[in-house]
Amino acid sequence: MRRVALFTLCLFALVVTACGSRSDTEASPDNAEVEGEGSSGEDDGGSDAAVGPDSTELGTIANPCSDDAPEGELAADVPGVTEDTIRIGVISDKENPAVPLPTVGIEESMKAFVEFCNEAGGINGRQIELSTYDSMIARTEEATQAACRDDLFALVGTGSVQDQQGVGTREECGLVEVGAYSATTSRTESENFFAPVPGLSATEFNSGPCQWIAEEYPEAVTSAMMVYTDLPAASVRGQQIVDGCEAEAGFDFVIEQAMAFGDTDFSSLVQEMKDEEVKYFTMVSATTETLALLEEIRTQGIELEVIDLGQQYYDDTLGASPAADGALVLTNTAPFSEAEENPVLGLYLQYMENVDAADRATTLGVQAFSAGLLWATAVDALGNDITREDLVTELEGITEWDGGGLHMPANPGEGIPISCFLYLELEGGEFTREHPEEDYDCDDAYLYTSDERFES
């Protein structure tokens, strides 16, 4: 029987953006050998150079935070903006005692960003004030209403698993949003929404991962299997993957199965896998459900060539389970194991520690931090012409963005979905780089446009 559907909805959010690894993994010797370029184009300054509030450059981007006073008159009556301050808000699902959530850590990451930027002197000398809102899984609408009523200039770094809610309210009250990610296409397609790493789209699909898998395992992909939980966000996402991978990479999904959430009885499904001799396995579901199925697969002695957990977030649970050994995982942000070679990632972790939230560094958190930088870059460029309209115009002009090396290059200004990928492999409880050997595998041709719309 399907139970608290929301709980998984949360986890699907992840499908969009790789999320959530704890950053406690030390850089391994393996990684040290890899040239530590945070991202393409970072060739000045050396990879080990630590950056801080006073740096003029943050990896590949200019530091948007400083106390340089801008010229000109401040536009009157701009919500949230004064001569010395600028007020922003972050809405996220905070920790819930009943359910593990991928969005935990977003709020702390925004605090870390604000701490960093204010130490650097604010944006054009304006100190940032941060209001936080807990969307409590099912209260995104209420949190949005509260944010609309407060005197905010923008929403920055937001991330709620039920983000199809509250869209209309935000559009109506005119708040610009630079989110950490979007969990649904309703959010992606909403007005004045920007994300540092646009991922989800109703029509565009990044087929890069599929194509690489097809190249590496040409046999396996002809007997592929897709399982997704029978809930709106997951099934739409699963169907989109099936559609894209079959069209672009020659996959043949011999099993495409929707599974009731909380269904604990996998025996018939596993039997079917045996009969169909499945070689490639991918699943869109909560980590725990995926693990339970993987364990059953292992018990039943099925030899899989590829376990592709796609955009599943990689977390301790996944790492700890032998059933998931050898599984492939996608990530949008730089692996935490490469923090030493990636100065901006190091900066992020440093400031997470400064706000006493070192244990909450997650990839969604990294994206929130990047959202902060993205927003700050736009505001910095505005000088004293800070209005919401100008902010939108400025953000629309930022078509190349990698958060200074925090994540893969992306086009937030035009909201074009990413056409890069990075596969990690789970080996003995550790996530290690699988492909490419450095940076990200990028190609505009990876983007596949479907005739169908996959809306969530």
Partner 1 sequence: MEELFRYFVVFAILAAPTYAIAASGLVVTYTTTGIFNFAHGAIGMIIAFCYWQITSSAAWDLPVPIGLVLCLLVIAPALGWLLDRLLMRRLAGASTITTIVATIGLLFALVSLADLIWPSGTGVRSVEKLFAGSTFEVVGVTVEYHDAVALGAAIAVAVGLRALLFGTRLGTAMRAVVDSRELAALNGADPNRVSSVAWMLGCSLAGLAGILLAPDLTLTSIALTLVVIQAYAVAMVGRLRSLPLTFLGALILAEVNSLFDYIPLKVELSGTVDQAFSDLGSATPILMLLVVLVVMRQDKAALRPENIRFRVPRPSMSRVAATMGGLIAVCALISVTDIVSANTVDELGKGLALGIVILSLVLLTGWAGQVSLAQLALSGIAALAVWKMGPYGLLVGVVVTAVVGAVVALPALRMRSLYLALTTMAFALLLERVVYGNNTLFPEFLPFATGSASAERFALIESDEAFFVFLAVVFGAVALGLTAIRNGHFGRRLAAMKDSPSACATLGLDLTVTKLQVFALSAAIAGLGGGLLAMWKSSSVGLTDYALLEGGALAGLPLVLVAVIGGITSVTGALLGAVLLVGMPMFGRWYGALRTPMSLAPGLAGIGLAQNPDGVVRQVGEAIEEARARADVVAEPFETPETLGTDGRIGAADASRLDDELGLSWGR
Binding to partner 1, residues 282-321 (CB under 8 A)? 286-289, 291-292, 299-301, 315-317, 321
- Choices 74-82, 192-200, 255-263, 382-390 (CB under 8 A): range interacting with partner 1: 255-263
List the one residue from 146, 173, 358, 442 that touches partner 1 (CB under 8 A).
146
Q: Please name every residue paired with 61 in a beta bridge, in sequence order, or none if there are none.
A: 58
Nearest-angstrom CA–CA distance, 112 and 201: 29
- Within residues 167-196, the interface with partner 1 by CB under 8 A covers 167-169, 184, 186
| 79 Cβ neighbours under 8 A, 6+ residues apart | 151, 152, 153, 388
CB closer to partner 1, 258 vs 392: 258
Work out how close the CB of 145 gets to partner 1 at its nearest, in angstroms, rounded to a whole number.
6
Nearest-angstrom CA–CA distance, 160 and 301: 38
- Choices 94-102, 111-119, 200-208, 434-442 (CB under 8 A): range interacting with partner 1: 94-102
CB closer to partner 1, 29 vs 301: 301
**DSSP class of 232:** H
Q: DSSP states of 342-383 as a string? A: -HHHHHHHHHHHHTT-GGG--HHHHHHHHHHHHHHHHHHHHT
The yes or no reply on residue 92 touching partner 1 (CB under 8 A) is: no
Q: Which tokens hold the place of 105?
A: 């850590």
- Within residues 323-382, the interface with partner 1 by CB under 8 A covers 360, 362
CB closer to partner 1, 41 vs 262: 262
Work out how close the CB of 287 gets to partner 1 at its nearest, in angstroms, rounded to a whole number.
7
- What number of chain residues touch partner 1 (CB under 8 A)? 75
Radius of gyration of the chain (CA): 21
- Within residues 113-142, the interface with partner 1 by CB under 8 A covers 134, 136-142
For residue 436, is the peptide bond before it cis, meaning its omega torsion is within 30 degrees of 0? yes
- Choices 3-11, 52-60, 347-355, 405-413 (CB under 8 A): range interacting with partner 1: 3-11
- Within residues 5-34, the interface with partner 1 by CB under 8 A covers 5-7, 20, 22
How close are the terminal C-alpha atoms of the chain, in Å?
23
The yes or no reply on residue 264 touching partner 1 (CB under 8 A) is: yes
Closest CA to 153 of 98, 216, 82: 82
**What is the identity of the amino acid at 29?**
P
Nearest-angstrom CA–CA distance, 351 and 269: 46
The yes or no reply on residue 247 touching partner 1 (CB under 8 A) is: no
- Choices 64-72, 166-174, 382-390, 415-423 (CB under 8 A): range interacting with partner 1: 166-174
- Choices 118-126, 212-220, 260-268, 277-285 (CB under 8 A): range interacting with partner 1: 260-268
375 to 414: interface string for partner 1, x by CB under 8 A? ----------------------------------------
Nearest-angstrom CA–CA distance, 222 and 15: 23
- Within residues 213-242, the interface with partner 1 by CB under 8 A covers 230-233, 235
Q: Please name every residue paired with 452 in a beta bridge, in sequence order, or none if there are none.
A: none
Nearest-angstrom CA–CA distance, 84 and 123: 9
Work out how close the CB of 188 gets to partner 1 at its nearest, in angstroms, rounded to a whole number.
13
Closest CA to 403 of 380, 379, 373: 373
CB closer to partner 1, 265 vs 444: 265
The yes or no reply on residue 82 touching partner 1 (CB under 8 A) is: no
Query: What DSSP element (H or E) covers 2?
Result: none
Work out how close the CB of 53 gets to partner 1 at its nearest, in angstroms, rounded to a whole number.
28
List the one residue from 71, 77, 84, 98 that touches partner 1 (CB under 8 A).
98
The yes or no reply on residue 258 touching partner 1 (CB under 8 A) is: yes
Torsion from C-alpha of 106, 38, 200, 330, nearest 10 degrees: -90
The yes or no reply on residue 95 touching partner 1 (CB under 8 A) is: yes
CB closer to partner 1, 55 vs 186: 186
CA distances from 266 to 31, 291, 303 (A): 38, 12, 16
- Reduced to 3 states (helix: H, G, I; strand: E, B; else coil), residue 433 is strand
Query: What DSSP element (H or E) covers 44?
Result: none
- Choices 83-91, 165-173, 207-215, 427-435 (CB under 8 A): range interacting with partner 1: 165-173
Nearest-angstrom CA–CA distance, 15 and 43: 32
